[in-house]
Structure 1
């Protein structure tokens, strides 16, 4: 908010008596640069919402025990798995925004926590209007849960804001991505070569950078997201078609580990349908593939076909669900709370 103070950092650092920490939203930092020189002394640090380890530390949960359970490589057991999944769903409900986490630690109820998250979303929207006062960036942001719900191959700008100037719309989308409030997941057109080098900039999905905000945005049309809705989430009684909420969780966990997000789709032979693998990450010269199931392990045709098609390029294939550790041939079954250790 004070660009001249930012410019003065150069001289303050040269003075040598103090170190300085500057903070601000990326949008404000980018916009408030008129008539100032950006100091070369600045070292930029990307800050993410609190990851699951940080959340556990803040709320008193034993993350190290979770690490030990993972390292043991053995089955967890139904009762323990249920408890660990419920702990993780608390993280999904609250999210990693420090104000929301603090409210949870202070034993605020979920309606109060939801109000805090709504205030954060409102601040985002105010920032978006600094770039484009038409509200189109907010429309792009608000459209994310609905587009994931449709289970389409990619995010569509026109679905969010209609068929207007495509060039301008793409600029607004890049501004949204640049704000770090969302996580882009790009379609890798040929995982045999390189995920980064085969990134399709015209085919991508968008997730929210914080799953707690995602929960609030899902029900933003209501005056306040009621405690009973959060109770349903915590007891795993939300409708089955909200599986993309778990996709967002995995996207956030992968991104907070420093991973760029990729997925892959390809046509089913002789059909109008297609196969899709939800997430891909590089490991050395090979890739690990992840299929996400919100509840049971169910059918998993896509990941099996992916493993066959790219057998020379795949290191591990994972089915991530709420179920215990297991294995089906070369497919490794893992619960959601193990994602930080897999990436």
Structure 2
């Protein structure tokens, strides 16, 4: 099966080119493509690669028995397998599935100081597993978060080159509508992406066959694997509570008020008993949490009500996999999202924003219909983002922009099925451009998106 190009490829190449590189820890939930990406990079970059998988080869969990020094660990690896050779300056040691032996992270400081070998660690559930480590080499390692494929990577998998994405960004920056053909092609590809999600195994099967057949089975197996991870890595009563939260995400997103309500998870459920469960799922990378702002103003971090939040899956394909059979069949056969339409588009935009580096925030004014889906920011301004499942006027956004009570809000962005355009300080763009929003606002900050200047009130 052909390799699917990933954004991590470029990061790894830049890491290798840095003479002062630290050992690298690539985090991310299971099945997002970490191992395959690292292996491809290693085979193309190093003459000598030593790969150790702590799940498949538990015998290597003894390699720190004599200490954490690079030479001590190399010697113990060689004792276990004499065929493994350590060539200073041209050896990559790849420790995979380190959640099964998180103690190895303590050695990274000593590998960095020693400097003879490059080291990459990878594993899922690392945010959870790191809690077991007394010293995880802070300051002597570089962390990289890897996600499932975003829409840009999906377009690469479909055969589109960087010029297509550059052209999309140019449309936005110049406020130039897409042609009818572009809208049809990109919207169709985006709907495929909504149905499939970004898990590489699912995308690879679809790309290889051109059919959806078999993809739902892979998605549902991934859900089972995630549920098994919860049982394996969560302790005591938290297992049941975390599973309850995980399993209730689709039904709560389908409600008009998408705020996650702990009281709906189980009879007698109280927020204080479940607070850690949501944090556990977020730390694991399985979900993205969108927090309710206390007030729509900068700065965003710390300016939220910890008791109010929405929960989205880290990959929308998991959402699709948890729909009932009838809804899933209708989605694949007829592109009909039914009662999940608003939830699906909101979830996919949340995913796009998170994967591009944004923390997620929304706002709901008490005793009012004023509610805003998401907020991002430029260097100076707070920017509301509205996701419209149907054509609409984005009433709450216009209220935020027009009111003197929110001086840091000068314009907003509406994402819908429609084309590029602007009206009354609101910039409209198609759903499929959500992954470009951060780049667009960066261009605005740099003075390279003149259409945004015209939007400010």
Task: Give yes or no for contact 2:127–2:283 (8 Å, CA) kept in 1.
Answer: no
Change (3 A) 1:331 1:258: same
SS at match of 1:298: coil
Give the corresponding residue for 2:425.
Answer: 330
The correspondence for 2:350, drawn from 251, 265, 275, is: 251
Which has the bigger relative contact order, CA under 8 A and spacing at least 6? 1
Residue 31 of structure 1: how far off its partner (Å): 6.8
* Residues in 2 aligned to 1:288 and 1:247: alpha-carbon distance in whole angstroms: 17
Residue 311 of structure 1: how far off its partner (Å): 5.0
Residue 204 of structure 1: how far off its partner (Å): 0.9
Task: Give yes or no for contact 1:280–1:289 (8 Å, CA) kept in 2.
Answer: yes
Give the corresponding residue for 1:318.
Answer: 413
Structure 1 length-normalised TM: 0.86
CA RMSD of aligned residues (A): 2.6
Consecutive unaligned residues of structure 1, counting only runs of 5 or more, are none
Match status 1:281 vs 2:376: yes
State the structure with more CA Rg: 2
Residue 154 of structure 1: how far off its partner (Å): 2.1
Match status 1:47 vs 2:149: no
1:29-49 CA deviation, whole Å, 9 max, x = no partner?
Answer: 517837x75344333221122
1:1-23 CA deviation, whole Å, 9 max, x = no partner?
Answer: 23454455555555533212111
Q: Report how many residues are paired.
A: 331
Query: What are the within-5 Å matches in structure 2 for residues 1-343 of structure 1?
Result: 1-3=100-102, 5-26=104-125, 30=129, 33=132, 38-40=136-138, 41-61=140-160, 62-107=164-209, 109-129=211-231, 130-132=233-235, 134-152=239-257, 154-164=259-269, 166-219=271-324, 222=325, 225-226=328-329, 229-233=331-335, 237-239=336-338, 241-267=340-366, 274-295=369-390, 297-309=391-403, 310-343=405-438
Change (3 A) 1:313 1:38: closer
SS at match of 2:182: helix
SS at match of 1:201: strand
1:259-298 CA deviation, whole Å, 9 max, x = no partner?
Answer: 1111111246xxxx52211111122232111111123x22
Change (3 A) 1:107 1:224: farther
Task: Give yes or no for contact 2:102–2:130 (8 Å, CA) kept in 1.
Answer: no
Structure 2 length-normalised TM: 0.66
Residue 326 of structure 1: how far off its partner (Å): 2.1
Residue 153 of structure 1: how far off its partner (Å): 5.9
SS at match of 1:21: strand
Task: Give yes or no for contact 1:293–1:320 (8 Å, CA) kept in 2.
Answer: yes
1:110-163 CA deviation, whole Å, 9 max, x = no partner?
Answer: 241111111221121111112045432122012112112112262111211332
SS at match of 1:327: strand
SS at match of 1:151: coil
* Residues in 2 aligned to 1:56 and 1:267: alpha-carbon distance in whole angstroms: 41
Residue 247 of structure 1: how far off its partner (Å): 0.3
* Residues in 2 aligned to 1:164 and 1:76: alpha-carbon distance in whole angstroms: 49
1:236-261 CA deviation, whole Å, 9 max, x = no partner?
Answer: x3326521100011101111111111
* Residues in 2 aligned to 1:239 and 1:122: alpha-carbon distance in whole angstroms: 25
SS at match of 1:185: strand
